[in-house]
């Protein structure tokens, strides 16, 4: 069995060839060594926008520079971030403006409701009376919510109502926290029947 070995030398092939310039057809001096150009390394960071809150990274809508591998292996597959593009920046700006307009509208509604509560006057609460000024039981936030619904046809959440402890007849002031920036004070007249 005969084994043949083939060898090919790139340097001998290059030495046997003569290169010419395209315009003059004159031979070009060949370099003695072969020049190899390496490709540029990939970017090590990516500019991203977070689509949702990510623990220890940032909040929704935040612009960040993160390592490419972290984006490629975690943020992108889970849908928690997107690479920044001009179109995405424009969409985020429009969404932010919409959210600001909604917050402004909610605050205006709360201010209007606060004006209504403060112009109504005192709400009357009837309770079964005991000795002197005492009443049986106490007046709760749910009682106030029911009275407001009956008189003003407005639904409010009992969790926004803060009342002092009411166990006697008299006049009291309750506070309604309608918005983080807006609160209304409501007067209550408690009397025994």
Identify the residue whose tokens are 């009956």. 150
Question: Per this entry, what is the length of the chain?
Answer: 193
Confidence of residue 34 (pLDDT cuts 50, 70, 90): low
Mean pLDDT of 118-132: 85
Fold of 111-192: Ribosomal Protein L9; domain 2 (3.10.430)
Residue range(s) occupied by CATH 3.40.5.10 in the chain: 45-84
pLDDT digits 0-9 by tens, 75-104:
999 999 999 999 988 988 998 899 999 999
Residue 30 pLDDT grade (very low, low, confident, very high; cuts 50, 70, 90): low
Give 179 or 39, the one with higher predicted confidence. Answer: 179
The predicted pLDDT at position 4 comes to 53
Confidence band of 133 (pLDDT split at 50, 70, 90): confident
Q: What is the 3-state secondary structure (H, E, C) of 122-157?
A: EEEEEECECCCCEECCCCCHHHHHHHHHHHHCCCCC
Domain 45-84 matching CATH 2.170.120.30: the answer reads no
CATH 3.10.430.100 spans which residues of the chain?
111-192
Angle between helices 86-120 and 141-152 (to 10 degrees): 90
């Amino acid at each position: 069995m005969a084994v043949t070995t083939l060898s090919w030398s790139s340097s001998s092939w290059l030495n046997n060839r003569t290169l010419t310039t395209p315009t003059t057809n004159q031979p070009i001096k060949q370099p003695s060594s072969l020049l190899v150009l390496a490709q540029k390394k990939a970017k090590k960071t990516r500019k991203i926008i977070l689509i949702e809150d990510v623990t220890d990274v940032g909040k929704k809508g935040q612009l960040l520079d993160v390592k490419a591998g972290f984006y490629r292996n975690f943020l992108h597959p889970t849908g928690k971030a997107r690479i920044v593009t001009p179109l995405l920046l424009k969409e985020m700006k429009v969404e932010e403006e919409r959210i600001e307009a909604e917050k402004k509208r909610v605050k205006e509604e709360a201010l209007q409701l606060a004006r209504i509560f403060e112009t109504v006057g005192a709400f009357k609460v009837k309770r079964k009376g005991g000795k002197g000024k005492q009443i049986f039981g106490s007046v709760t936030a749910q009682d106030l919510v029911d009275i407001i619904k009956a008189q003003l046809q407005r639904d409010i959440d009992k969790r926004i109502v803060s009342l002092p402890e009411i166990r006697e007849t008299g006049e009291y002031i309750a506070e309604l926290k309608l918005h983080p920036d807006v609160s209304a004070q409501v007067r209550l007249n408690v009397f025994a029947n």
